[in-house]
């Protein structure tokens, strides 16, 4: 099954919620808290592992503050997850969905590798 069809199915899993800034803040917040809870670590411990403050972690988890890409990277490393996992809707962390996500990730990586090879081949010809 082509990966774009799988993406459409994943989109259907969001229960047709409008994807806006508020939705993304909630999604990220819920997932950070969920991953932290799965590891059985406190907000204080997560703050220490990321170099962020306890108050900032609390504000993120309570949707009071947003996160930058830099902060997402720190959180992903500390929580030992891939950054895309912060954007998966509730219920999308099951095995079937993760297979779709892995397939999409693999397809995307293949495209990036092919484009990189084409770019490098084009640069060698131009010299």
How many structural domains is the chain composed of? 1
How many Å from the N-terminal Cα to the C-terminal Cα in the chain? 41
Of residues 84, 74, 81, 98, the one with CA closest to residue 38: 81
Output the CA–CA distances (angstroms, integers) from residue 124 to 112, 113, 115, 116, 119, in the order listed.
18, 17, 14, 12, 9
Does residue 16 have a pLDDT over 70? Answer: no
For residue 38, give its domain range: 3-126
Does residue 64 have a pLDDT over 90? Answer: yes
* Structure confidence at residue 69 (pLDDT): 93
Does residue 12 have a pLDDT over 60? Answer: no
CB 71 within 8 A of CB 52: yes
- Give pLDDT tens digits for 30-61: 999 999 998 999 999 999 999 999 999 999 99
Give the DSSP H or E segment for 62.
none
With 0.75 as the threshold, say if the pTM is over it.
Answer: no
The CATH number of residue 73's host domain is 1.10.260.40
């Amino acid at each position: 099954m082509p990966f774009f069809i799988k993406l459409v199915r994943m989109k259907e899993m969001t229960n047709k919620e409008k994807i806006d800034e508020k939705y993304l803040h909630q999604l990220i917040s819920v997932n950070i808290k969920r991953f932290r809870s799965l590891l059985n670590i406190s907000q204080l411990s997560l703050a220490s592992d990321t170099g962020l403050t306890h108050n900032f972690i609390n504000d993120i988890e309570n949707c009071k503050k947003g996160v930058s890409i830099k902060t997402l990277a720190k959180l992903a490393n500390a929580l030992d997850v891939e950054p895309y996992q912060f954007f998966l809707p509730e219920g999308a962390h099951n095995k079937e969905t993760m297979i779709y996500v892995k397939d999409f990730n693999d397809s995307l990586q293949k495209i990036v590798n092919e484009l990189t090879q084409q770019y490098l081949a084009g640069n060698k010809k131009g010299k």
